[in-house]
Amino acid sequence: MTNWKDTLERIGLALGISMLLGMLILGQEFREAVAESVAVLLGPLPDMLPIHITLFIMAAITGLYASLIQKYTIDWELMRTFSEKMKEFQKEYREAQLAENKQKLKKLDEQRAAMMGDQGRMMKQQFKPMAYISILTLPLFFWAWMFIKANPDFTMVFPFWGEKSLCEPVVLTINYWIVWYMICSLPVSQVIRKALDIGGA
C-alpha cells in the first residue's frame, strides 16, 4: 500500500513539475495547447453562464480540490507539533535575551541548529501539495486566460474602479479577471476548509 502511495506521489510531483517547466520553457504555445484541451472538457459551460459566474465556479472547484489535497497530503499533526515547539522556543529565547542569560542563549542556539532539520521537513510538507494542485490549477488558468483574451468585451463593475475589461491589467501581468477570481477564491476556500476541518484544528 505504501509503495503504491509513494509511486502515485512521485507521478504527481513529476506531472506538477512538468507543467511548471512546460509553462516556463515552451511558453505560449504550451499554454494554448493545454487551454484547448480544457475547453474540450468544459464543453458549452462557459457559453451558458456569465463570465463572472464561470470564474466563481472555477474558484469553488479549485478551492475544493486544493483543500482536499492539502487535507490528505499534509501531516497536520506534525505541522501543529512543530508550530507549538517553535512558539515555545521563541518565547524561551526572548526571555533569555531579556535576562541576558548567555549560557541559556548558547544552549538555545544549539537547539535552533537542530530544529533546522524539522524546518526542512515542514517545507517539504508544504511543497508536495503545491505540485499536485498545480497539475489541476494551471490548465484552468491557461483556459481562462485564453478564453478571456479571445473575448475582450467581457467587463465587470468593481468597487472604486468602476467598469473594467477583464483582460485589462491591474498591475503588471495581473488582470482584472484574476482579481475577481481571488475575490471569489478567498472566502470560498475558507468555508471549504472550515467544513472539511482542515488545518489540524
Query: What are the residue boundaries of the structural domains of the chain, listed by start?
Result: 2-75+129-195
What number of CA atoms fall less than 13 Å from residue 152's CA on the CB side? 2
Give the tens place of pLDDT for each residue, 56-67: 999 999 999 888
Task: Write down the pTM of the prediction.
Answer: 0.73
- What's the pLDDT score for residue 62? 92
- What's the pLDDT score for residue 180? 94
Q: What is the mean pLDDT of the chain?
A: 82
The neighbouring-strand residues paired with 164 are 156
pLDDT < 70 positions in the chain: 1-6, 8-9, 12-13, 16, 19-20, 23-27, 199-201
Spatial neighbors of 119 by CB under 8 A, at least 6 apart, are 82
- What's the pLDDT score for residue 26? 67
Q: What distance in Å separates the CA atoms of residue 53 and residue 19, rounded to the nearest whole number?
A: 27
